[in-house]
């Protein structure tokens, strides 16, 4: 009986919630005379150690605390950070960065040693950084990360306290893009060596960026205050940032609407159109460097047949899904590398992408029939997709295939478990997303290299492709390099090893009062650039905006 009541109650609450009226803004208390920003991160922060973080929401917090050799400007472009200038050797293998005279938030100077220490620490096998492989461009980094060489062997050294030199395995024209990434932030050697993991506690945590950590309560919020020792502290408007783990996206939207939060990301895709009318001026969407794609388990005979893979890719009505089902401005993807990647010219999409959908289906049917699949012998497979899907897009894909007689069984799988299963190839057909770590086509194309291993979900193994990528690694001319990478992508797309589905857009609801929140392809929004339209600079003792 009690259960029954609970059920009735749940239904009632669900109905009641749908009609909830305007809510009162409850903002965190803000010290008088200060400007406070309330930011929803969309997920719980697991770490604030620059060498250990993985999520973009974690970098939102850490990227406001730490500054690497270069930093992102408002539009995501690399601009001088800790380094004021840098030189590259003629062969492109040695990068020398000259550091500015700057301090950690405890007053200690930021030195070249902090950068050397950070790179050695992130590569140490004991650190178990999930992103270490990104740094294999540095000399001996791979060997260090695999425990085959001591951390001191990695290609980085302090020439003097203010000069740090990196040695690379191969020329990397994208090094400045990589230097923006969280894996390249310095860590305060003097604190980490003394306190070990305790350095992450508020009170111990020392930063070199525009903010310093005040408190961190799991499940509640992280608080950062302006760092008065930051060299451009006088240009930072927001005095305090409260970061919230808004796991429930819809409640996050409502908090922005009511004014409890100033910004929240991301949005459920199919709500973007609705929110644009419900909260005019709040919704921000911008192209972002990410691709959602499908991978085949090519150890299965049915997916070894290229005709089958081609038919499945061809018959997905991407336009219907992006325009009607997701409906948030994401472009349908026919290429693997998303639009907007720097120094790259994408290959033309396959010819069939321009065909009318009916023609694509007819051709797909023909291909399937040629591969021996038809009404008597339907193609059957399991389609593992990530998480719970309120948009119904996977069901729409499934329906597209069903019309051709393909029987795909949808299996909703918790995101982390889905990736785990795919890494060990415990899947048949799977759904994956990849978001750029740094703005370069190589960051996408390396996923399908034969030596990538676990994350090469389709086990693509084409020596020509591998050779092209190796060739690109050694090419210093950006235009020639782009042409090589383009050939590689074309080759891989012609082999239909993955099914590109759609490219990303970043989405957030942000109060129009907030300034300095610019859209960029990295989806990086540093609080140091933000302010409120009606806020007086904090140096003047004017009243803070309501809150």
Partner 1 sequence: MSAASPLVPGSRSGAKTMEAVAGRSLWEDALRRLLRNQAAVAGMVVLGLLILAAVFGPALLPFDYDDVIKTDVYARPLQAGHLLGADYIGRDLLARTIVGLRVSLGIGIVATLVSLIIGVAWGATAGFIGGRVDEVMMRIVDILFALPFVFFVILLMVTFGRNIFLIFLAIGAVEWLTMARIVRGQTMSLKQAEFVEAARAAGVPRSGIIFRHIVPNLLGPVAVYVTLTIPGVILTESFLSFIGMGVQEPLTSLGTLISNGAANMELATWLIIFPSLAMVIMLMCFNFIGDGLRDAIDPKDR
Residues that bind partner 1 (CB under 8 A): 1, 3-4, 6-8, 11, 14-15, 18, 250, 268, 270-271, 274, 278, 317, 320, 324-325, 387-396, 398-400, 402, 409-414
Closest-CA residue to 381 (of 415, 355, 411): 411
CB of 497 to partner 1, least distance (A): 26
CB of 417 to partner 1, least distance (A): 10
CB of 410 to partner 1, least distance (A): 5
CB of 320 to partner 1, least distance (A): 5
Burial class (CB in 10 A: 0-12, 13-18, 19+), 169: middle
CB of 330 to partner 1, least distance (A): 16
CB of 393 to partner 1, least distance (A): 7
What residues does 163 pair with on adjacent strands? Answer: 98, 160
3-class DSSP state of 491: helix
Write the DSSP assignment of 502-538 as a string of letters: EEEEEEEEE-TTEES----TT----GGG-EETTPPPT
What residues does 429 pair with on adjacent strands? Answer: 296, 383
**Residue closer to partner 1, measured from CB, 375 or 463:** 375
CB of 283 to partner 1, least distance (A): 14
Integer angstrom CA distances of residue 454 from 101, 291, 422, 459: 43, 18, 8, 8
Burial class (CB in 10 A: 0-12, 13-18, 19+), 276: middle
Confirm if 372 and 387 have CB atoms less than 8 A apart.
no
**Residue closer to partner 1, measured from CB, 4 or 217:** 4
Task: Supply 219's token pair.
Answer: 């499940």
3-class DSSP state of 22: coil
Report phi then psi at 136, rounded to 5: -65, -10
CB of 261 to partner 1, least distance (A): 18
Write the DSSP assignment of 445-484 as a string of letters: HGGGSGGGGGG-TT----HHHHHHHHHHHT---HHHHHHH
Distance CA 304, CA 282 (A): 47
**Residue closer to partner 1, measured from CB, 4 or 29:** 4
**Residue closer to partner 1, measured from CB, 1 or 540:** 1
Distance CA 59, CA 436 (A): 14
**Residue closer to partner 1, measured from CB, 2 or 376:** 2
DSSP 3-state percent helix, strand, coil across the chain (nearest 5): 35, 20, 45
CB of 416 to partner 1, least distance (A): 13
CB of 10 to partner 1, least distance (A): 8
**Residue closer to partner 1, measured from CB, 71 or 413:** 413
Closest-CA residue to 383 (of 424, 338, 339, 428): 428
């Amino acid at each position: 009986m009690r259960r029954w009541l609970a059920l009735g109650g749940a239904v009632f609450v669900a109905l009641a919630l749908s009609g909830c009226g305007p809510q009162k803004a409850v903002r965190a208390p803000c010290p008088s005379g200060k400007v406070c920003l309330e930011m929803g991160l969309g997920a719980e922060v697991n770490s604030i150690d620059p060498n250990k973080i993985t999520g973009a929401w974690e970098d939102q917090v850490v990227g406001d605390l730490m500054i690497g050799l270069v930093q992102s400007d408002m539009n995501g472009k690399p601009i001088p950070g800790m380094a004021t200038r840098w030189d590259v050797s003629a062969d492109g293998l040695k990068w020398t960065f000259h550091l500015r005279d700057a301090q950690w938030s405890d007053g200690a100077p930021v030195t070249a040693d902090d950068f050397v220490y950070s790179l050695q620490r992130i590569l140490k096998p004991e650190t178990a950084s999930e992103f270490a492989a990104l740094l294999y461009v540095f000399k001996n980094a791979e060997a260090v990360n695999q425990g085959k060489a001591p951390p001191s062997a990695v290609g980085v050294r302090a020439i003097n306290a203010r000069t740090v030199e990196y040695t690379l395995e191969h020329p990397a024209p994208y090094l400045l893009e990589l230097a923006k990434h969280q894996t390249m932030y310095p860590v305060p050697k003097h604190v980490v060596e003394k306190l070990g993991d305790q350095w992450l506690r508020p009170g111990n945590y020392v930063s070199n960026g525009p903010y310093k950590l005040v408190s961190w309560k799991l499940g509640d919020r992280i608080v950062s205050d302006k760092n008065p020792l930051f060299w451009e502290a006088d240009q930072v408007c927001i005095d305090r940032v409260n970061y919230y783990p808004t796991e429930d996206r819809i409640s996050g939207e409502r908090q922005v609407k009511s004014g409890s939060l100033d910004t929240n990301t991301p949005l459920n895709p199919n709500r973007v159109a609705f929110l644009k009318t419900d909260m005019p001026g709040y919704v921000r969407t911008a192209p972002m460097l990410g691709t959602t794609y499908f991978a085949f388990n090519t150890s299965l005979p049915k997916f070894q047949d290229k005709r089958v893979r081609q038919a499945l890719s061809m018959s997905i009505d991407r336009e219907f899904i992006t325009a009607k089902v997701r409906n948030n401005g994401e472009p349908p993807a026919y290429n693997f590398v998303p639009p907007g990647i720097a120094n790259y010219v994408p290959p033309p999409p396959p010819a069939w992408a321009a065909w009318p959908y009916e023609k694509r289906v007819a051709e797909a049917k023909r291909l399937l029939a040629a591969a021996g699949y038809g009404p008597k012998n339907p193609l059957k497979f399991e389609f593992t997709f990530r998480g719970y899907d309120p948009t119904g897009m996977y069901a729409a894909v499934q329906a597209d295939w069903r019309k051709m007689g393909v029987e795909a069984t949808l299996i909703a799988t918790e995101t982390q478990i889905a990736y785990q299963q795919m890494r060990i190839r415990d899947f048949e057909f799977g759904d994956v997303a990849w978001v750029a770590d740094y703005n370069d086509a190589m960051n996408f194309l390396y996923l399908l290299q034969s030596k990538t291993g676990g994350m090469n979900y389709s086990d693509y193994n084409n020596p020509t492709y591998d050779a092209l990528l190796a060739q690109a690694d050694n090419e210093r001319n950006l235009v020639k390099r782009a042409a090589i990478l383009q050939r590689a992508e074309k080759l891989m797309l012609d082999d239909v090893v993955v099914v590109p589905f759609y490219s990303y857009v970043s989405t957030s609801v942000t109060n129009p009062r907030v300034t300095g929140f610019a859209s960029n392809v990295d989806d990086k929004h540093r609080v140091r650039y933000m302010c409120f339209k009606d806020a007086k600079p904090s140096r003047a003792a004017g009243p803070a905006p309501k809150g």
